[in-house]
Structure 1
Amino acid sequence: MTHILAIDQGTTSSRAILFDASLRMVATAQQEFTQHFPDSGWVEHEVDDLWRTVAETCREVVARAGVEPGDIAAIGITNQRETTVVWDRETGAPVHRAIVWQDRRTAAFCREMQAHEPLVTERTGLLMDPYFSGTKLRWILQNVEGARERAEAGKLLFGTVDSYLIWKLTDGARHVTDATNAARTMLYNIHEGRWDADVCGLLDVPMGMLPEVLDCAADFGTTDLLGKPIPVLGVAGDQQAATVGQACFGEGMLKSTYGTGCFALLNTGEQAVTSSHRLLTTIAYRLDGKPTYALEGSIFIAGAVVQWLRDGLGLIQAASETGPLAERADPQQRLYLVPAFTGLGAPHWDPDARGAIYGLTRGSGPAEFARAALESVGYQTRDLLEAMKADVGPLEGVVRVDGGMSASDWSMQFLSDILGAPVDRPEVLETTALGAAWLAGMKAGVCGGPEEFAKSWALERRFEPGMSTEERDGRYAGWQAAVGRTLTR
């Protein structure tokens, strides 16, 4: 068996990527699916869309590669985190659409529960924010007719997307998740490695709904989806999978992924660092029962701001147009776009903030909008790194980047300029799928361990800062002022 299949179930599409035993990409298949916005700040997915697109892309990629199912040693899964699914234990029928990580419908409840945030943070490493699964699950139990009664009777199951996919892949035989996804629910004690009864009680969540928590490389069950039994041996939430795929195994290593949102993770080793600057303490990965922790900063809108330029404003037809368009912007204009379309994440955590743009003149046009949009991602990343420095002291200095937006040379050069630090882009940008594939391949005995995998990491390009300190600090001060005018609290 010479191949590994990675399932990458994301916020706007599902992908299947086939790797060979050397973790080289052989073939890929991708399908987008519809986003649903039933109310302001609400984001949902049809659960059947998630499963259908995963199943179809898995079959498609195997056919495209011309390999036999028997050639596949294992499957690895990586997924959008925090997105919440509740389904019937017997039939698998969802009781509600999946409530997506971006969804802010529980903001009022989170404000009511602020007095309990110290307990939640102490146990789970997270903040009392709508971002996480716990309050989304509570909302479903409170608002779907009969859901709470069925849950308390043991008839409903909860899971993040990985858990639901595994349940479907194994025909309901396994209700499991991994430690990284569990750590994003606001229900899991990251220090003791178990679901926390006190926090579950606080959110009125029946613990019988919750999946068994396994290592990132473990036996998650076997699927006959492709016609032959194939084990699922690796699972990690998308940002943790990218951390693994970037080989950030050393304490102090930092990666930043640019997809729909932006997520920066700093490996803190065996120590679960509690942030004083509203970053998240989370599990980077868990192998052989031993967790490695990370500090995480979460930005809700990164690549999504480019989608907004395309789909909302119609300024571009393809994401690749933004860099060349930004280069033509008037250097005398300094626009600041604060993309708080679904609130602001770290380090502000303001779910009620909404997007704003400052500095408009009669001369502001598509080029200036494009530049402001791309720059907003760099500014937000600096917000995260400044908070990390305040928590742990000086950082290693190099930021490893990945995700679709990292392909933009203009964006990555601005990122290096505004951070005042080197930015390393690897040869393989699909680090999320790569991390999932390596976890599964390692468990299957096809791939080597962390040290061997780290040696395979290869640099495609390093971006060095070229902006003066005076300009860098002046630009960032303008950004901070713009954010200050946008915050609602």
Structure 2
Amino acid sequence: MGDSSLAVKESFIGSIDQGTTSTRFLIFNKEGEPVASHQVEFEQFYPQPGWHEHDPLELISSIETCIEGAVKAFEEQGHAAKDIKAVGITNQRETTVVWDHETGEPLYNAIVWTDTRTQALARKLKTRLGSDKLQGLCGLPVSTYPSVTKLLWMIENVPKVADAYAKGNLAFGTVDAWVVYKLNGGPKKNVFVTDPTNASRTMFMNIHTLKYDEQLLDFFRFDLAKLHLPKIVRSSDTTAYGTLSTGVLSGFPIMGCLGDQSAALVGQKGFTPGRAKNTYGTGCFLLYHVGDKPVMSTHGLLTTVAYDFDGTPQYALEGSIAVAGSSIKFLQNNFGFIGSSKEISQLAETVPDNGGCTFVTAFSGLFAPYWIDDAQGTIFGITHYTQKGHIARATLEATCFQTKAILDAMAKDSGKALAELAVDGGMTNSDLCMQTQADLIGIPVERPRMLETTALGAAIAAGFAAGVWKTFDELKNVNTAGTTQFTPKISKEERDKKFGKWEKAVEMCRGWVD
């Protein structure tokens, strides 16, 4: 009797994690543990150098496949699908989808956030009068990264898109808006919404008001009579995101939505100002919670929305590192130092230190806070003594040094020093790397046992709306079991000396690109 009444009370939340290379659906329990999941990789299109695209319809079919697979596994464990209270969504940001407002048909492939075809367009926009005012309005500078340049490129270069725009039929969305629209059944229901964490990556939304901004739209010369933009709603909402219209979860409500880096901050429970997380993936994304007022960076960082659950939006400073996990892949694929990424720590541990080597991994220039685009990868301090292990250590240290540089910039911008850094992503599996990180930043590094923090963040957004959790306090113990803490083991003098050497190397790697 006791067991069955308990079973009735158990609530679960589904989480769609639509990433850059794969899609996943995870089902979490109230403790924040994933009980079932399914993952699908989908095709990457590189039609020309610097171009990167996805098929918008394949993004949708991959989600549907993942939902079916995860729910099947969930039910095989003896759970009932009806105990899933709501579904949350997290997604790759900035990736741009355009479709016909009448038919719901995509008009071109999705242009991915990494795509650089808009370089010339971005340079041209930077010379336009008023371009220096944009970052103060939307938190981002003009570059190839936000959605706006991708949309402008399509209107200028794709006849089908230009035609739809001329006829007033062009619908634009980031991946979240496209996914919600299609999962609700497309034009019939026309659920056409986005959340502020995604809208803050387009350059259309005023970061202070969370509304589309006429000054921004005028600067880019958009005619709003011809362009359909998704309505901006809260990241956690019981009705705004509609319901799934097909498949095994047909009729189930979607109640949360967060861009992937914001979702990871929420999944790491970064609910108070001064909390920060760093995701060590292909690149690195560090988000620092600054509170309910946006902080504009004067040190090379972006301003973004962390989340908006109750109408009081929370903001973050964001710093990105172009090369993180990809530098380990480089040692594996290009130098043959290791057979797989996992072996990096073993190789680095064959030596006690970097042997005097510093490796500035500027394979595509340096991102935040340096923004040096004429730098190239450079290794300093090589002698007869240098071994593979020293290079391996210097490679891990490069990401740790850049993380310290971003944290220093964040402290200057926000006026608050960080107390501890929450981490997730593939590189965090290396204890050596995380200990090095703690040593170099001089504060503890916290690594959760369950590293699916991005998907958990989307589940938390939906779970709040569904009443699975009522307060941030209830989430205090979610995903805390098995947390590993790395505390600094070197002195401030030693730390400053190491970082001084790194900064010298950064200065010396400038000017390699003509």
Give the TM-score normalised by structure 1: 0.92
Distance 1:351 1:199, change over 3 A: farther
Cα offset, 1:313, TM superposition: 4.6
Cα offset, 1:3, TM superposition: 1.8
Task: State how far apart, in whole Å, the 2-side matches of 1:225 and 1:461 are.
Answer: 41
Cα offset, 1:419, TM superposition: 0.9
Which 10-residue stretch deviates more, 15-24 or 181-190? 15-24
Task: State how far apart, in whole Å, the 2-side matches of 1:165 and 1:123 are.
Answer: 27
Partner of 1:8, secondary structure, is strand
Match of residue 495 from structure 2: 472
Distance 1:358 1:94, change over 3 A: farther
Task: State how far apart, in whole Å, the 2-side matches of 1:306 and 1:137 are.
Answer: 34
Matches within 5 A, 1:234-313: 234-313=256-335
Cα offset, 1:107, TM superposition: 2.7
Task: State how far apart, in whole Å, the 1-side matches of 2:146 and 2:336 are.
Answer: 32
Distance 1:110 1:222, change over 3 A: same
Q: Conserved in 2, the CA contact under 8 Å of 1:103 and 1:342? A: no
Distance 1:412 1:21, change over 3 A: same
Match of residue 206 from structure 2: 189
Residue 64 of structure 1, aligned match among 43, 65, 73: 73
Match of residue 370 from structure 1: 392
Counterpart amino acid of residue 484 in structure 2: R
Residue 214 of structure 1, aligned match among 225, 230, 233: 233
Task: State how far apart, in whole Å, the 2-side matches of 1:284 and 1:247 are.
Answer: 11
Distance 1:4 1:89, change over 3 A: same
Cα offset, 1:78, TM superposition: 0.6
Match of residue 175 from structure 1: 192
Gaps of 5+ in 2: 1-9
Match of residue 77 from structure 1: 89
Task: State how far apart, in whole Å, the 2-side matches of 1:149 and 1:160 are.
Answer: 20
Matches within 5 A, 1:400-439: 400-439=422-461
Q: Conserved in 2, the CA contact under 8 Å of 1:138 and 1:204? A: no
Task: State how far apart, in whole Å, the 2-side matches of 1:195 and 1:243 are.
Answer: 24
Cα offset, 1:91, TM superposition: 4.0
Q: How many residues align?
A: 489
Residue 156 of structure 1, aligned match among 151, 163, 170: 170
Residue 461 of structure 1, aligned match among 484, 489, 493: 484
Task: State how far apart, in whole Å, the 2-side matches of 1:217 and 1:388 are.
Answer: 27
Cα offset, 1:197, TM superposition: 2.0
Counterpart amino acid of residue 241 in structure 2: F
Task: State how far apart, in whole Å, the 1-side matches of 2:379 and 2:228 are.
Answer: 43
Counterpart amino acid of residue 242 in structure 2: G
Task: State how far apart, in whole Å, the 1-side matches of 2:378 and 2:215 are.
Answer: 39
Counterpart amino acid of residue 215 in structure 1: R
Distance 1:482 1:77, change over 3 A: same
Q: Conserved in 2, the CA contact under 8 Å of 1:76 and 1:440? A: yes
Q: Conserved in 1, the CA contact under 8 Å of 2:423 and 2:445? A: yes
Question: How much is the aligned-residue C-alpha RMSD, in angstroms?
Answer: 2.4
Partner of 1:181, secondary structure, is helix
Match of residue 20 from structure 1: 29
Counterpart amino acid of residue 9 in structure 1: Q
Match of residue 3 from structure 2: none
Residue 51 of structure 2, aligned match among 39, 42, 56: 42
Q: Conserved in 2, the CA contact under 8 Å of 1:129 and 1:349? A: no
Counterpart amino acid of residue 210 in structure 2: G
Task: State how far apart, in whole Å, the 1-side matches of 2:392 and 2:164 are.
Answer: 49
Cα offset, 1:397, TM superposition: 2.0
Counterpart amino acid of residue 208 in structure 2: H
Task: State how far apart, in whole Å, the 2-side matches of 1:175 and 1:462 are.
Answer: 42
Residue 392 of structure 1, aligned match among 401, 414, 430: 414
Cα offset, 1:433, TM superposition: 0.8
Match of residue 110 from structure 1: 122
Cα offset, 1:362, TM superposition: 6.2
Partner of 1:290, secondary structure, is coil
Q: Quick one: percent identity of the two aligned structures?
A: 42
Cα offset, 1:125, TM superposition: 1.0
Gaps of 5+ in 1: none
Match of residue 6 from structure 2: none
Cα offset, 1:201, TM superposition: 2.5
Q: Conserved in 2, the CA contact under 8 Å of 1:19 and 1:437? A: yes
Which 10-residue stretch deviates more, 290-299 or 310-319? 310-319
Cα offset, 1:424, TM superposition: 1.2
Task: State how far apart, in whole Å, the 2-side matches of 1:246 and 1:95 are.
Answer: 37
Task: State how far apart, in whole Å, the 2-side matches of 1:21 and 1:191 are.
Answer: 33
Distance 1:332 1:266, change over 3 A: closer
| Counterpart check, 1:483 vs 2:506 | yes
Q: Which protein is bigger by CA-based radius of gyration?
A: 2
Q: Conserved in 1, the CA contact under 8 Å of 2:108 and 2:161? A: no
Task: State how far apart, in whole Å, the 1-side matches of 2:476 and 2:276 are.
Answer: 14
Match of residue 8 from structure 1: 17
Residue 33 of structure 1, aligned match among 33, 39, 42: 42
Q: Conserved in 2, the CA contact under 8 Å of 1:135 and 1:203? A: no
Cα offset, 1:326, TM superposition: 1.7
Cα offset, 1:458, TM superposition: 1.6
Q: Conserved in 1, the CA contact under 8 Å of 2:422 and 2:447? A: yes
Q: Conserved in 2, the CA contact under 8 Å of 1:151 and 1:209? A: no
Distance 1:134 1:398, change over 3 A: same
Which 10-residue stretch deviates more, 479-488 or 121-130? 479-488
| Counterpart check, 1:144 vs 2:158 | yes
Distance 1:48 1:370, change over 3 A: farther
